[in-house]
Amino acid sequence: MDYRRTYRSAAVTFVDLVSRVPAERLDGPGLGEWTLRELIGHTVSSGLEQVPGVLATAASSAPRSPSLPGATGGGSRAVNIEAPEGYFAFVRDVPAELYAAAVAASGDDARRAAADLLGSVGELAGRATQALAAVGDDDVVTTPVGGMRVRDWLPTRTFELVVHGSDVAAAAGVLAGFDPAAVSEATLLATRIAVALGEGSAVLSALTGRTPLPDKFSVV
């Protein structure tokens, strides 16, 4: 699966989706405590705005570093997270107080983005895809959870666009229209996150019609 194509496709679809959200719905319910405007703001921030900044930290990967077992990378940019699912598993595994602080910060950022970014969604998508074209698959970038290869980190941004884009579509009462390849990538990643969290058997059982998932089950 071409992670570059699925990201570009998801970004284009999300821009189109936002353009079709009825203005009168923006201050209505979005997701949880977020309004639809804040939900869109969070998605813009996490899926588009931050991409050029993270990719700007790219440095070509180097042989294994003896100072960090199992890691690769040059200098301070060692690979700390080896796969996309590791990004989300890391976030779920932090101490409760740090997770609560991160959730609060995410809410603040959603409100900031809702106020500042909604008029520039297309421009931000263009900047993100241009930044992607300038880096290599195995370049190591600095992410909020540590060093990751571009090919491992970017699918986490596609995941944000597809999952929260679908939330936006549901709240706005419009069709999302994400490319099946992007949906497939996001769905496969959700399954891999479940396995990384020790919930793979529960998800497999649910997907094959054996047992339902627990109430409010989520991998993120």
Per-residue pLDDT tens digits for 30-51: 999 999 999 999 999 999 999 9
Quick one: pLDDT at residue 212? 95
Domain-located, residue 213? no
The closest alpha carbon to 152, from 3, 45, 12, 49, belongs to: 3
Domain-located, residue 215? no
Domain-located, residue 212? no
The residue with tokens 């923006």 is: 26
Per-residue pLDDT tens digits for 125-140: 999 999 999 999 999 9
Average pLDDT, the chain: 88
Q: How many CB atoms lie within 10 A of CB 21?
A: 19
The closest alpha carbon to 143, from 57, 72, 48, belongs to: 57
pLDDT class of 205 with cuts at 50, 70, 90: very high
- The domain in which residue 76 lies consists of 3-207
Q: How many helices (H) and strands (E) does the chain have?
A: 9, 6
Q: How many domains does the structure of the chain reveal?
A: 1
Q: Are 150 and 143 spatial neighbours (Cβ–Cβ below 8 Å)? A: no
18 HSE (CA, 13 A, CB side):
29
Q: What is the dihedral of CA 36, 53, 150, 66, to 10 degrees?
A: -130
Domain-located, residue 220? no
Domain-located, residue 100? yes
DSSP string covering 89-101: HHHHTS-HHHHHH
**Sign, CA torsion 193/167/122/174:** positive
Query: Measured at the alpha carbon of residue 51, what is the angle toward residues 79 and 65, in degrees to the nearest 5?
Result: 10
Quick one: pLDDT at residue 77? 67
Does the pLDDT at position 184 exceed 50?
yes
Does the pLDDT at position 12 exceed 90?
yes
Percent of the chain at pLDDT exceeding 90? 75
Domain-located, residue 99? yes
Per-residue pLDDT tens digits for 75-128: 446 999 999 999 999 887 766 666 566 666 677 877 888 788 788 999 999 999
pLDDT class of 63 with cuts at 50, 70, 90: very low
Domain-located, residue 172? yes
- For the chain, first and last CA: distance in Å? 23
Q: Are 11 and 129 spatial neighbours (Cβ–Cβ below 8 Å)? A: yes
Quick one: pLDDT at residue 98? 65
Domain-located, residue 78? yes
Percent of the chain at pLDDT exceeding 70? 86
The 3-state DSSP class for residue 72 equals strand
Quick one: pLDDT at residue 107? 72
Per-residue pLDDT tens digits for 48-62: 999 999 999 987 554
What is the distance between the alpha carbons of residues 215 and 29, in angstroms, rounded to a whole number?
21
Provide mean pLDDT across the span 168-180. Answer: 97
